[in-house]
Amino acid sequence: MAVLENIRVKLGVFITVLIAISLLSFIFDPSTLSSTIQNASSDNKVGTMNGKTISYQDFYTKVEQNTNLFEQIYGQSFASEEQHSQVRDFTLQTYLDQYVFEPKAKDAGLIVGDQEMYDLTQGSNISPVLSSQQMFLDQNGVFSREALAQFVQNIDFDATGTYSAYWNYLREQIYKQQLYNKYYSLLSASTIYSPLQTSRAIAENNLTSDVDFFMLAVGYAPDSTIQVSNQEIEAYYKSHKEQLKQFANRDIEYVMYEVVPSEADITDQQSKFASLVTEFAESDNLKNFISLNSDVRWSDIYYSKNDLASIPEFQSFVFPEKGAASAELVSPTREVENTLSAVRVEDRKIVPDSVRVFYSMFDLASAAQADSVAAVLNNNGEYEGLSEMGWMTMAANEANGLSDLNAAFDIPVGKAAAIRMPNLQAILVAKVEEATKPIEKVSLAILTKNITASDETFRDYLMQATSLADKADGKYEAFAAAVKEDNLPVIPANHIVEATRTIGLVDNARELVTWVFDAKQGDVSDVITVDNKYYFVAAVTAVRKEGYMDINDVRDDIYNTLAMKKMATVAAEEMKAKTQGLTSLEAMAEACGATVSHQSGISFGSQSTALDPSFIGAIAAAPKGEICGPVEGQIGVYMFQVNDNVTGAYFTESDAALRAQQDAQYRQQIIGSVFESEAEVKDNRARFY
C-alpha cells in the first residue's frame, strides 16, 4: 500500500498515462484519427485497421479494464466525460500499436529483446518512463534504484494485484516507447542530406538580391470580362480530385433555447437563502448543516488571509482589521453569476502552509504495529520502512481525496503520528521532517447555493421550443418560415462530422449530432435536450457522404481560382503592352499607374511568406541589371530589375544541418497519416460514445 499511496499523492500515474498517449501520438495524431469517423452501419464495429475488426464488445471490455486499472492506481473514481474520453483514446491507441505500428516495426526488422527490457527496467539503462515517476525518486528528486527494487519485491506480496497491474502497465509503456524510439531513429538515419544539397542550400541562402519593382494587384472583385467555362471547372476538378477528399459531414441550422433563471426565480431564491443564512448562524453542527444544505461539499482545508485575497468580502470578515471585527457569526452574502455564498468560521489555529513528510503504510489490522512505529520515531528511534512523500499542502490532499492526511499539519517537526485513513482502509504513520513557518489559518463552513431555473421556467422554455418544432412539423421550409415569423436567431453549424461533441458553445451535444447523422437533408428535429439546460430544434441543410467532394460543392471555389489566374494573365498582357518600348522601370511604372518600390536582402532559400513565391523565384533566375517581367504571382503581376547580388556567409553548414533536421522532423510527423492511409484505419467510436 505504501507505494500505491505515494502514486496517488504525487499523481504520477495519471501523468504517465498522458505522457504515454502524447508519446505514441507522434505517429497517430488524435485529431487526425477523429476525422476518420465513418458513416453508421448496422454492425457493431468500433473500428477497423489493417483488415482487423474491433468489435464494440472487445473495445468496451478493454476500456473497462483500463478504467479499473487507472482508478486503482489514481485512487479515485473516473466520473468526468473528459477522463472517460482519455481512457478511450488510450485504448484505441493500444489497438493502433498492435495492428498498425508494431507490424511496420517488425517489417523494418525492429524488436525489443528480453535483455533489452531487463536493462530498461532493472539494469544499466533505466527507461525514462520509470525514471520520471515520482514514486521512484529520492528526496533530492533523483531516480532511486532502491525505491524501484522495493516496489518490484513487493509485487508478490500485494494480494490486491494492483502492484502487478501497474508494473505490467509500466513495462508495456517502456516496450512501446523503446520500439517507437527505434523506429524514429531509423527514420532519422534514413534521411540522407548529401554534401551537394548542403552546398546548394548554403549558396541559395547566402545569395541575396537588391531589387526595384512595381506591381499591379489582381483584385478579388468579380470581373465580367473574365469567363470560366464549365469544361475548365470540370478539368480542374478532375486534375485536383485527390485534394478534394472529405469525410462524411453535415450542415445544420438550429435554434437553441438556453434555460436561465427568471427574475422571479432569482428573487425567490435570494429570499430562501437569507432564511437559510439565519439557520446557518444558529447551527451547532456546521459540517452536517453544509452537507444537508450547500451545493458545494464540506472542505477540510484551512485558509490563510492571503488565500482569501481574491474574495475581499470574506477576507475582511474572517481576518478583520484591528477594531473592525463583526459581531455576526455569518459573513454578508456574496452573489456572483447566480451563485449565492456565505461563510462562518469553524476553527482557527496556527499551522504551516506545507509540511515535508516521510511515511509508512499499514493495514487496519496492524494498528498496534503502526502505533509502535510512531512511538519509536517520537523517541528519536529509526524505522527503515519510511519513504519520502515530499512536501504536501492541504489543498493538494483535498484535491486527491486524501483529506485525512491533513492531520499531518498538527504534528510537530521531528515527530510522528499514526493517521487513520478510513477511505483507504489503511493507517499511515507520518513523520514531519520540515514545515513552513506557522501562520494563522481558519477552517470555514462555506454555504453555497446556485440560483437555478424553476420547474415553471423550464416549462416555459420547453413550450417555446415545442412550439417551433410543431410549426416546423419536420420540414425545413416550415422551419424557415417559423423562425422568420417569430424573429428567432438561427445559428448555422457547417461540416459537422460524426465525432463532433461540441455545437457552438455547448459541450456534450452527442444526442443532437446522433440525430443529425440519422436524418436526411431537409429534416427538422423534435425538441432535443442537452445537459438538461439547452433545448435545440435543428434542421439538416446539407448531407455530404464520405469520399470526393461533389463538384457543385466546390464549383465556386474552383471558379474563383481559375478566374484569378485569368485575371493575372490579362493583367500581365496589359502590363507588357503598356511598357513596350520603354527602357526604364520608372517609366514603365508610370505608364501602368504604379510606383517603383525597393526591396533588399531577397533570398531564394528564404522560407518567409512576406513576398510572392513566384516573384522570389523569378528574382533568383534573373540577370543583374536587366528589366524582367511581367511575372504572374498569386496576388499580382510584377515587373522588376535586380540591382545587385550580394554573397554573404551568414548561412552556415550548421544552419543547413538544422534545416535538414527540421525537414526530417516534418517527414516523421506525417508518417502517421501514411500508416493510417495504408492500414485503412476507420474509427467509429462516435456511434457508441
pLDDT tens column, 236-288: 999 999 999 898 999 999 999 999 999 999 999 999 999 999 999 999 999 99
Going from the C-alpha of 362 to that of each of 134, 275, 404, 430, the distances in angstroms are: 21, 47, 15, 11
pLDDT tens column, 538-592: 999 999 998 999 999 999 999 999 999 999 999 999 999 999 999 999 999 999 9
Three-class SS state of 224? coil
Q: Is 518 in the same domain as 594? A: no
Q: Is 530 in the same domain as 630? A: no
Domain membership of residue 449 (yes or no) is: no
Question: What does 232-248 look like in DSSP terms, one character per residue?
Answer: HHHHHHHHTGGGGEE--
Domain membership of residue 56 (yes or no) is: yes
Question: What does 94-160 look like in DSSP terms, one character per residue?
Answer: HHHIIIIIHHHHHHTT----HHHHHHHHTSSS--HHHHT-GGGB-TTS-B-HHHHHHHHHHGGG-TT
Domain membership of residue 498 (yes or no) is: yes
- Other beta carbons within 10 Å of 488: 16
Nearest-angstrom CA–CA distance, 59 and 41: 17
Domain membership of residue 667 (yes or no) is: no
- Other beta carbons within 10 Å of 431: 24
Q: Domain ends where: 349, 366, 381?
A: 349
Whether a cis peptide bond, with omega within 30° of 0, leads into 320 is no
* Positive or negative torsion for Cα 348, 349, 350, 355: negative
Q: Phi first, then psi: what are they for 499, rounded to 5°?
A: -85, -5
Report pLDDT for 606: 66
Report pLDDT for 607: 61
Q: Is 64 in the same domain as 181? A: yes
pLDDT tens column, 156-176: 877 777 788 889 999 999 999
Using alpha carbons, select from 404, 395, 398, 400 the residue that is nearest to residue 359: 404
The one-letter amino acid at 280: F
| Furthest CA-CA distance within the chain | 107
User: What CATH number should be reported for the domain holding residue 517?
Assistant: 3.10.50.40
Please give the grid coordinates belonging to residue 159.
494480494
Report pLDDT for 82: 82
Going from the C-alpha of 156 to that of each of 73, 165, 394, 638, the distances in angstroms are: 17, 12, 33, 77
Q: Phi first, then psi: what are they for 187, rounded to 5°?
A: -65, -40
Q: Phi first, then psi: what are they for 338, rounded to 5°?
A: 60, 30
* Three-state helix/strand/coil letters over 487-515: CCCCEEEEEECCCCCCECCECCCHHHHHH
Q: Is 184 in the same domain as 80? A: yes
Report pLDDT for 669: 77
| Cα-based angle 151, 154, 155 (whole degrees, multiple of 5) | 95
Q: Is 55 in the same domain as 122? A: yes
**What is the tally of structural domains in the chain?**
5
Report pLDDT for 5: 38
Give bridge partners of residue 348 from the DSSP assignment.
Answer: 442
Q: Phi first, then psi: what are they for 212, rounded to 5°?
A: -100, 140
Q: Is 142 in the same domain as 286? A: no
Q: Is 344 in the same domain as 358? A: no
Domain membership of residue 653 (yes or no) is: no
Domain membership of residue 661 (yes or no) is: no
Domain membership of residue 493 (yes or no) is: yes
In the chain, the N- to C-terminal Cα span, in Å, equals 34
Report pLDDT for 21: 36
Q: Is 512 in the same domain as 600? A: no
Question: What does 411-477 look like in DSSP terms, one character per residue?
Answer: SPTT-EEEEEEGGGTEEEEEEEEEEPPPEEEEEEEEEEEE----HHHHHHHHHHHHHHHHHHTTBHH
Nearest-angstrom CA–CA distance, 36 and 494: 17
Nearest-angstrom CA–CA distance, 622 and 628: 7
Which structural domain, as residue segments, surrounds residue 298? Answer: 263-349
Q: Is 171 in the same domain as 31? A: yes
Q: Domain ends where: 317, 349, 381?
A: 349
The H or E element containing residue 598 is strand 597-603
Q: Is 412 in the same domain as 464? A: no
DSSP secondary structure code for residue 524 in this structure: B
User: What CATH number should be reported for the domain holding residue 426?
Assistant: 3.10.50
Nearest-angstrom CA–CA distance, 277 and 448: 10
DSSP secondary structure code for residue 333 in this structure: P
Domain membership of residue 226 (yes or no) is: no
Nearest-angstrom CA–CA distance, 218 and 376: 87
Q: Is 358 in the same domain as 313? A: no
Q: Phi first, then psi: what are they for 641, rounded to 5°?
A: -145, 125
Q: Is 426 in the same domain as 517? A: no
The one-letter amino acid at 38: Q
Residues of the chain falling short of pLDDT 50: 1-42
DSSP secondary structure code for residue 623 in this structure: P
Nearest-angstrom CA–CA distance, 181 and 540: 46
Q: Domain ends where: 349, 371, 404?
A: 349
